[in-house]
Structure 1
Amino acid sequence: MMRFFIAAVSFAQLLSWLTLAKVPPLSPDILLGCNDPEAEAAAMVAVNYINAHHRHGYKYTLDRIENIQVSSRTPNREIHSLEVELDLLETKCHALMPTPIQDCPVRPRAEHAVEGDCDVKLIKVDGNYTVHSHSCKSEPDSAEDVASACPVCPPLAPMNDTRVVQGVDTLLHQINSAEDKPHYQLHEIGRARIWTLPEHAVELEFVVAATNCSTQDAKSAPDSCVRLTGDDAQFAFCVGTVKTNEDDTVNCTNFKPQSAASGPSPAHPHPKGQPAVAGSGHHHLPHLKLASSSGESSSSEMKVPTAAAPSAAPSAAPPAAPSAAPSAAPSAAASLIVKRSIAEKTILLLPRCPGKKRFI
C-alpha cells in the first residue's frame, strides 16, 4: 500500500513537471517593466494630463515610475488598458505658466519641496495613450529632510497665516504703486516661509492677474476693475520678501496662461479676485476620479510607436515559465529575483519595478 502511495505521488509530480514544460513561457511584452520605453511614454502622457488639470500651485515632473500593470489586451496583443503608479516632484513653474515641464527646475529639498503620488489608468488605441482616470495625493517633505539639506531653513508656512496674508498685501500694494501700469489683483498665494534668522522675514510666492484698469484708474474707482479673461488674460508670477525694516523686495514675471483643460478643477478663486486661501502650506494635487470623455484636453494624448519585438538587451525581462500554483505567477511589482529550474534550464525573472529615479 505504501509503495502504491509513493508511486502515485511521484506520478503526480511528473505530470506537474510535464505541464510546466509544455506551457510556453510568458511573452516579455506582457511583463512591461517600469524602465521600458512604452512605460516611459505612458508616464509622460499621464504627467502632462495631471499638469493640465492641476490649475493651482505648481507643475510636477516625473521622478520615478513606481509600478505598472497591464490590465487587459486586445487579441493582437496591443495594450488596451494599463495602470501606472508615479512619484512626482514639485517644480518652480506655476501651474498656469506655459513653460514646458522639461524647462521647469525641480524645487530643491531645502525649500521644503512637495512630492506627489499618483495612480493613473490609461487606454491605448491605435498607438495613442489617453488618460481614463487618475487619483493623486501630495505632501511636503518631512521636517527632518529639510533640516538635513538646510538646518536653518524654515518649513512651509500656512497660507492663511496672518503674517503671510499681510505680506502679500504689502507686496501687491508695491506692485500697484507704479504709474500708468496695469492694476493687478491677487489670484492666489503659491507658498510662503517665515524666517527668524538672520532676521525676521516673510518669503512669498504668489500670482496676480491683470485687470482692465490702470493703476491710476484703480485709485479713483477700484471696485470697477475687473480682471482680464480669454485672449486678453495676463498673469504675473511674483517672488518677494517682506522684512521688519521695510526693505521689501518683489520681482514679477508676466505670462499668458496656458489653455485650461476641460473638466473639474478645485478651489477656483473668488470672482472678484480674492481667493479663499488654504490653511495648508501647499496646493494639493487634485484627488479626483476623472472619467475620460470626448472633451478631454489633447495634452492627455501622445502618439507613440507600438511595442517593438523583445530584444536581447540586458534591461529586457527574460521570459518566465508560469507555475501551476496561481500564487507563483509573476506579479506586476516583482521585487525579488526568482529562479526556477525546468528541464535543467534556469529561468531568471529580474525585478521590473520600481523604475529608475531621475532626481536625487
Structure 2
Amino acid sequence: MRTLRVLTLLSAAVLLCSAAPGLEPLTCSEGNGPAAADKAVHHINEHHNHGYKFRLHEVQGNSVEQVDGGCNVKLQLDLRETKCHTINPKPFEDCEIRGMGARAVKANCTVLMTIKDGDASVTKYECDTRQEKTNLEMVRICPDCPVLLPLNNSEGLKSVREATAEFNKNTSNQHYYILKEVGRISTGYIMGLGMNYYPEFALVETHCPMGSRIIIEACIPLCPNRARHAFCRSSYSSQNGLLSTECDFYPAENTTLLGPGEKEPVCGRHGRRHPHGHGGPPPHAHNHGHGPPPDASNEGRPPHAHNHNHGPPPTGGKGKGSFHPLRRFHPCHGFLVNPDPALHPICPWPLPHRPHN
C-alpha cells in the first residue's frame, strides 16, 4: 500500500492568549493555601523546560511555621499534566488537562516557601511524576486505549524522523527545522494496519536556509528567543509507514529584523550566545551525527562538550550515525531514581550540584 503523508500547518494566530493573571499577595495566615499554591505552580512551570506544562488539581496539605520576620510554608500539591508543551506560549491555566483515555499524568509535589516582610519565594520543591494509571490498570478499564512507550522507542523515533522530513518539505518555511524533543509516544493496535504509533514532538528552527544543499543534522538551532518552534503530532503504521503529520507553529519571541550585513547570533546548547561574531557554529563545535539533542539527552555534560546536531539524519540512515536522540536520556541530570521512561518528569529544584571530575 502506498504511504500517505499529509502535513497540516496551523497558524500561530490561533494561539493568541491573554497574559497570566497577577498573583495574589501572600500572608502567613492559615488560609493562604490557594494563593501559595498558585505561586508554587507558576514557579514550577517556569523552571520545567521539558515535556508539558502542569496545572493544579488539588492542594493536599498546607502547613505554616511562624519564624522571625515571617513564616515557612510547606505545601503538598497534586498536579496534572496538560496538553500544552513547554514551547507553547499559552498560559498553563488555559491548557487542557489530559483525560484518562489519553494516558493522564500526575505529579505529587512537596513545595517549600518562605514569606518575609510580605515577600514570598519558593525555596525548594520535589515531585513524583507518574502515569495516573499503570498499563495493567488501563487494560482493565479501557482495553482499546493507547499505551505510552519509552521516549527512545525505536519505532516511535522512526515515525518522528519521517515526520520531520515531511515537515521540511514545506517550502513556505525560511529555514530547516530539527528535532528539539520528543514529548511522548503512544501506540495501539488497529486491525488491518498492525501497530500504530502516535508520537508528539517539538521542532526548532535552525540557521540552515530552506533549499540549501546541506546535511540537515549538521544544522544548529537559532537562539531560543529568535527561533520559531513547531509542535507536531504524527501517526505511523508498522505496515504502511507515515500516515499523517499535523503541526502547530509558534512565533519567535524576538522578531527584530537584522540590520544590513548583520548575521544571526549563534547560541550554545543552553541558549547562551557564543562570543564568535559569525553566522555559523564555532569551529570546534561541530558534531556530525553521533549524539543526542541538547536539552534532552545531553544534560550534565561539561561545558566544553558541545553537541549541535540534534536533528534527524537522511531517511534510511543506519549504523554509526543512526538517529537515537534520547538513547542516553537521563532526566533531571540523573538525580531521579527509576523515572518513568515514557515521561518528562518535573525535576527537583534546585538541582543538587554535581562537580565535574
TM, length-normalised to structure 1 = 0.63
Find the aligned partners of 2:180 and 2:100 in 1 and give their Cα distance. 26
Say if 1:285 and 1:134 are closer, same or farther in 2 by CA, change over 3 A. Answer: same
Identity %: 26
Aligned to 1:135: 126
TM alignment of 1:1-360, pairs within 5 A:
32=30, 36=31, 38-74=32-68, 79-141=70-132, 142-147=134-139, 150-181=142-173, 182-198=175-191, 199=193, 200-217=195-212, 219-222=213-216, 225-243=219-237, 244-246=239-241, 248-256=243-251, 267=297, 270-274=307-311, 275-277=325-327, 278=329, 280-289=341-350
Q: Residue type of the partner of 1:158?
A: P
Say if 1:203 and 1:157 are closer, same or farther in 2 by CA, change over 3 A. Answer: same
Find the aligned partners of 2:82 and 2:298 in 1 and give their Cα distance. 21
What SS does structure 2 have at the residue aligned with 1:60?
A: strand
What SS does structure 1 have at the residue aligned with 2:96?
A: coil
Find the aligned partners of 2:216 and 2:28 in 1 and give their Cα distance. 62
Q: Residue 247 of structure 1: CA displacement?
A: 5.5
Say if 1:257 and 1:50 are closer, same or farther in 2 by CA, change over 3 A. Answer: farther
Say if 1:149 and 1:129 are closer, same or farther in 2 by CA, change over 3 A. Answer: farther
Find the aligned partners of 1:170 and 1:226 in 2 and give their Cα distance. 19
Paired residues of 1:52 and 1:261 also in contact (CA < 8 A)? no
What SS does structure 2 have at the residue aligned with 1:273?
A: coil
Say if 1:197 and 1:230 are closer, same or farther in 2 by CA, change over 3 A. Answer: closer
Aligned to 1:12: none
Find the aligned partners of 1:257 and 1:140 in 2 and give their Cα distance. 32
Q: Residue type of the partner of 2:148?
A: L
Paired residues of 1:180 and 1:214 also in contact (CA < 8 A)? no
Q: Residue 31 of structure 1: CA displacement?
A: 7.8
How many residues are aligned here?
Answer: 253
Say if 1:224 and 1:290 are closer, same or farther in 2 by CA, change over 3 A. Answer: closer
Find the aligned partners of 1:226 and 1:267 in 2 and give their Cα distance. 16
Q: Residue type of the partner of 2:220?
A: V
Find the aligned partners of 1:203 and 1:147 in 2 and give their Cα distance. 18
Paired residues of 1:115 and 1:140 also in contact (CA < 8 A)? yes
- Structure 1 segments unaligned to the other structure (5+ residues): 1-28, 292-360
Say if 1:207 and 1:30 are closer, same or farther in 2 by CA, change over 3 A. Answer: closer
Say if 1:44 and 1:268 are closer, same or farther in 2 by CA, change over 3 A. Answer: farther
Find the aligned partners of 2:140 and 2:253 in 1 and give their Cα distance. 36
Say if 1:221 and 1:152 are closer, same or farther in 2 by CA, change over 3 A. Answer: closer
Single out whichever of 207-216 and 279-288 deviates more from structure 2: 279-288
String of CA shifts for 1:209-250, please: whole Å, max 9, x gaps: 111223311x44536522111431221111111123246111
Find the aligned partners of 2:271 and 2:73 in 1 and give their Cα distance. 23
| Structure in which a larger fraction of residues adopt helix | 1
TM, length-normalised to structure 2 = 0.64
String of CA shifts for 1:86-118, please: whole Å, max 9, x gaps: 111000011232210111000111111111011
Say if 1:202 and 1:225 are closer, same or farther in 2 by CA, change over 3 A. Answer: same
Q: Residue type of the partner of 1:185?
A: I
String of CA shifts for 1:228-282, please: whole Å, max 9, x gaps: 11431221111111123246111111224789999xx885575322543548111
Find the aligned partners of 2:54 and 2:308 in 1 and give their Cα distance. 27
Q: Residue 122 of structure 1: CA displacement?
A: 0.6
String of CA shifts for 1:106-136, please: whole Å, max 9, x gaps: 0111111111011111111233321011111
Say if 1:57 and 1:102 are closer, same or farther in 2 by CA, change over 3 A. Answer: same
What SS does structure 2 have at the residue aligned with 1:48?
A: helix
Find the aligned partners of 2:251 and 2:116 in 1 and give their Cα distance. 33
Kindly indicate whether structure 1 or structure 2 has the higher relative contact order, using CA contacts under 8 Å at least 6 residues apart. Answer: 1
Q: Residue 171 of structure 1: CA displacement?
A: 0.5
Q: Residue 169 of structure 1: CA displacement?
A: 0.5
- Structure 2 segments unaligned to the other structure (5+ residues): 1-26, 255-269, 273-294, 300-306, 312-324, 330-339, 353-357
Paired residues of 1:192 and 1:203 also in contact (CA < 8 A)? yes
Paired residues of 2:226 and 2:252 also in contact (CA < 8 A)? no
Q: Residue type of the partner of 2:66?
A: S
